[in-house]
């Protein structure tokens, strides 16, 4: 039909925001985070999507994806996602190509919802009203006082009843400090709040079992990526030997990766990152894979990119309220959500799309491309 809205173009921008303090986990340290923004144009309507990825991701969008989606019907998002995945075949899908697709896919879904005048969660179909979140940070660079301030802020001031800290400092070479920090975290949040830990793949297999059992004594119920997440059979072995739920999946860039992870029984809860796995289109499919096996899914980081999709799946456990990304999204965007009582309610204000808009004035100071 001649009046069918089509994608007229995609623009990119890159923003780098310094951290508010030195940060590190078990296997990496950083002092800034880069966000790549994709804006889809369709007449007077625009859609906004983003990923946390190197600036080169914007070049992938510009060189490989813009021409693929331009001119296609703006309502047919899954079709455009498939077209983008085919377009990066020779470039290699896992990695920044998948992140580039994710940014555009999120923007396409936002654009479609805005064209239809619906909050994105209503377009996707809500499975629940509220999306539980957990406070995430507790970097290995924090001293005891910094860690306590952050954790108590989430639990006591924002009412978030579950929190996570980083462990496996220096590739697992500081076990005593890991134990100390977990004990201090438990003391800070009290006996009733949930305590999670994330090793970022920093432990060896037997070390992970030993530490997982020690963490269980502090009431830890979530043991994220105890070993590198590509070692699926090792994850499955560890899962059988520790009491906390073993979780992983944030580095899944393709749907088959998640299927392989689930098929070997590697996790108790699947993690997937909408800004890495190819966008909302693929994230929803990953959630369906987990649901078919009786497992829940948790959204990794980028809370506002996940919020509406997270509310649309029946097997959602929660969404990561990650310190860095919450801070960046509050700086760059208007329309951000607040986790009162430990959950967010996407679409409650009735604003079409995912509700975010770029705050050009605030963002300009961080734009690098």
pLDDT value at position 2?
A: 55
Nearest to 282 by CA among 127, 132, 98, 123: 98
Name the strand (E) or helix (H) holding 232.
Answer: helix 232-241
Query: Could you please report the per-residue DSSP string of 30-73?
Result: EEEEEEEEEEEEETTEEEEEEEE--THHHHHIIIIIHHHHTTSB
Q: Under DSSP, is residue 2 helix (H, G, I), strand (E, B) or coil?
A: coil
CB 229 within 8 A of CB 248: yes
Of the pLDDT bands very low, low, confident and very high (cuts 50, 70, 90), residue 63 is: very high
Query: Could you please report the per-residue DSSP string of 240-291?
Result: HH-SSEEEE-TT--SHHHHHHHHHTT--SEEEE-TTTTTSHHHHHHHHHHHH
- Residues 181-191: what's their mean pLDDT? 98
302 conformational bin, left if phi > 0, alpha if psi -120 to 50, beta if neither: left
Of the pLDDT bands very low, low, confident and very high (cuts 50, 70, 90), residue 312 is: very high
Is the whole model's pTM more than 0.95, yes or no?
yes
Give the whole-angstrom CA distance, residue 133 versus residue 296: 14
Give the whole-angstrom CA distance, residue 315 versus residue 310: 9
Q: Hunting for tokens 């986990």 — which residue is that?
A: 25
pLDDT value at position 53?
A: 98
Q: Under DSSP, is residue 296 helix (H, G, I), strand (E, B) or coil?
A: strand
Residue 66 confidence (pLDDT) above 90: yes
pLDDT value at position 130?
A: 96
- Using alpha carbons, list the distances in angstroms from residue 181 to 94, 215, 295: 34, 11, 30
- Using alpha carbons, list the distances in angstroms from residue 24 to 52, 141, 198: 16, 6, 12
Query: Could you please report the per-residue DSSP string of 310-357?
Result: HTT-TTEEEEEEEHHHHHHHHHHEES----GGGEE-TTTT--SBTS-E
Residue 94 confidence (pLDDT) above 70: yes
Residue 290 confidence (pLDDT) above 90: yes
Q: pLDDT above 90 covers what percent of the chain?
A: 98
Q: Hunting for tokens 């952050």 — which residue is that?
A: 150
Maximum pairwise Cα distance, the chain = 67
Q: For residue range 108-160, what is the model confidence (pLDDT) as tens digits?
A: 999 999 999 999 999 999 999 899 999 999 999 999 999 999 999 999 999 99
- Residues 17-33: what's their mean pLDDT? 98
Q: Which two tokens stand for residue 19?
A: 């951290």
Q: For residue range 319-350, what is the model confidence (pLDDT) as tens digits?
A: 999 999 999 999 999 999 999 999 999 999 99
Question: How much is the mean pLDDT over the chain?
Answer: 97
Question: Edge-to-edge, what's the strand order for the sheet holding 29-42?
Answer: 9-24, 29-42, 45-52
- Residues 249-255: what's their mean pLDDT? 98
Name the strand (E) or helix (H) holding 120.
Answer: helix 120-124
Nearest to 101 by CA among 115, 91, 116, 114: 91
pLDDT value at position 3?
A: 81
């Amino acid at each position: 039909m001649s009046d069918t809205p089509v994608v007229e173009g995609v623009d990119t921008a890159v923003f780098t925001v310094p951290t508010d303090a030195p940060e590190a986990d078990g296997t990496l340290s950083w002092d800034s985070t880069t966000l790549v923004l994709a804006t889809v144009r369709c007449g007077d309507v625009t859609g906004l999507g983003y990923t946390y990825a190197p600036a080169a991701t914007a070049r992938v969008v510009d060189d490989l994806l813009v021409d693929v989606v331009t001119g296609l019907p703006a309502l047919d998002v899954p079709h455009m996602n498939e077209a983008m995945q085919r377009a990066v075949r020779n470039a290699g899908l896992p990695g920044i190509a998948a992140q580039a697709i994710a940014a555009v896919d999120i923007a396409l879904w936002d654009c479609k919802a805005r064209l239809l005048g619906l909050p994105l969660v209503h377009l996707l179909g809500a499975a629940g009203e509220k999306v539980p979140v957990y406070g995430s940070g507790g970097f290995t660079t924090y001293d005891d006082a910094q860690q306590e301030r952050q954790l108590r802020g989430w639990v006591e001031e924002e009412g978030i009843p579950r929190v996570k800290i980083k462990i496996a400092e220096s590739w697992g070479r500081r076990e005593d400090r890991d134990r100390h920090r977990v004990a201090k975290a438990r003391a800070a949040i009290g006996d009733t709040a949930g305590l999670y830990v994330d090793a970022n793949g920093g432990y060896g297999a037997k070390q992970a079992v030993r530490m997982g059992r020690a963490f269980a004594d502090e009431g830890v119920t979530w043991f994220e990526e105890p070993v590198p997440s590509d070692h699926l059979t090792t994850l499955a072995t560890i899962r059988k030997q520790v009491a906390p739920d073993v979780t992983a999946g944030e580095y899944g860039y393709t749907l088959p990766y998640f299927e392989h992870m689930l098929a070997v029984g590697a996790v108790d809860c699947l993690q997937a990152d909408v800004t890495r796995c190819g966008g909302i289109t693929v994230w929803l499919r990953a959630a369906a894979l987990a649901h078919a096996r009786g497992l829940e899914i948790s959204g990794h980081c980028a809370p506002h990119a996940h919020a509406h999709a997270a509310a649309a799946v029946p097997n959602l456990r929660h969404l990561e309220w990650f310190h860095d990304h919450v801070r960046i999204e509050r700086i760059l965007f208007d329309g951000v959500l607040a986790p009162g009582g430990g959950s967010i309610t996407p679409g409650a204000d009735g604003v079409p799309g995912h509700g975010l808009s770029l705050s050009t004035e605030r963002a300009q100071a961080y734009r690098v491309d």
